[in-house]
Amino acid sequence: MSGVSDSVADIYEPFDPQSRRVAVRPTTAGLHAVKLGDPWLYDGSISSADPADLPAGSVAVIFDGRRVVGVGLWDPSSPICVKVLHSGGPLNVDRQLWIDRLEVAKARRGALIDDPSTTAWRWVHGENDSLPGLVLDRYDDTLVIKLYSDAWYPHLHDVVSAAQQVMPSTTVVLRCARRVTPPVGAPTDGDVLLGSMATGMVSYLERGLTMTADVRRGNKTGTFLDQRDNRRLVAAACDGARVLDVFTATGGFALAAAAGGARSVHLVDISQPALDVAQANIDRNRNVGAVRRCVVTAQQGDAFQVMESLAASGERYDVVVVDPPSFAQNEKSIPQALSSYRRLARAGLRLTTDGGLLVQASCSSRITVDDLAREMRTASREVGRSFVEVRRTGHAVDHPIGFARGAYLKALYAAVAASV
């Protein structure tokens, strides 16, 4: 489906999930996890499932003997076979459930929603808002729904309908994670479910600054909304500063730095289209005096190589922001990920002036902020640049954490001392 739907009734609705139920009996460990409220029930934690051949999105009823202890969505092709919606007894999985949970999520973000200077935020943060595998992001009047599980397809019609009732949008766009396989005839990644869009570009405000995102083809749902608070903190440290923004993506940190009074910002990214978007985001805010006065330069290339080359040539910056993509996609990749963070920290410390600020972020859930700090300390010894931790940050209010493994974002702010 690549066209435009005129009403919620047109949205793909393959079967009634309530009519298809899987009786799931977990192992002892799986049962313990469900009772503790874990939203993930893995295939290895299931003793039996009957009938196991029902399609994704069927209702999974979790039993302890003859007693119902939880309800979720069946996802047989995923290692996480059940996305647990509720523990503690039965639950009706229907449109009213989505309405109730969307209302709770909306109320949780009330102050952000009511702020007219910021019009883009995350409405539903998956498992952390009791809707595992589902993300909803708002960009002004455009709603982007991202599916991280095949199990949500049979519920898509009701989810959109519920969202329109709780907080109507003029346009609704579907995004799908790489692991999601749309059923035949179903909408696919980038399709417009409601309303119309000539392109995927939408405009929105972040603390009064105008930005754009490609909600149909851009990263995530169009941009990285989770770094909003860190961008504010960086802006506050940039008055009169020379700034280096590495892995700039759509230029959020660069624009925040310019608005915060930076005299210059140098952007680095491997993607020239990303740099073009970042430059455009800065240019559309040239009506702001501080942004207009900021000198902006950009460099396309591998971030590791560019940083090391800049350091070798003697370049130094008052504020260095390093915000890489996730390096640890699985357990096996953790050692290499830690090595990559240490390499970035070495270059970042060399590039930061005496008394300057180095901000190193990680969006890898398998890497803790203590891991990040340890690698920075090791890098500090290797390059002979000491630092003092200024602060550690985590998730913003619209990216809440509802269970231990839900935390992924962290940033470490380091005041770099003089060379040893």
pLDDT tens digits for 341-373?
999 999 999 999 999 999 999 999 889 999 999
Q: What is the pLDDT of residue 1?
A: 40
Q: Position of tokens 């330069």?
A: 297
3-state DSSP helix/strand/coil % of the chain, to nearest 5: 35, 30, 35
- Per the CB < 8 A criterion, the answer to whether 400 and 129 are in contact is yes
Per-residue pLDDT at 267 exceeds 50? yes
Average pLDDT estimate for 329-352 = 92
Find out whether the peptide bond into 51 is cis, omega within 30 degrees of 0.
Answer: yes
Q: What is the pLDDT of residues 177-205, one digit of tens each?
A: 999 999 998 999 999 999 999 899 999 99
Which is higher by pLDDT, 325 or 167? 167
Running DSSP on this structure, what letter comes out for residue 188? -
First vs last C-alpha separation in the chain: 61
Average pLDDT estimate for 107-127 = 97
Per-residue pLDDT at 213 exceeds 70? yes
Per-residue pLDDT at 19 exceeds 90? no
Q: What is the pLDDT of residues 367-403, one digit of tens each?
A: 999 999 999 999 999 999 999 999 999 999 999 998 8
CA distances in angstroms from 245 to 239, 350, 370, listed in the order given: 15, 15, 23
Q: What is the pLDDT of residues 308-320, one digit of tens each?
A: 999 999 999 999 9
Question: Is the full-model pTM beyond 0.75?
Answer: yes
Q: What is the pLDDT of residue 419?
A: 64
Q: What is the pLDDT of residue 420?
A: 52
Q: What is the pLDDT of residue 254?
A: 98
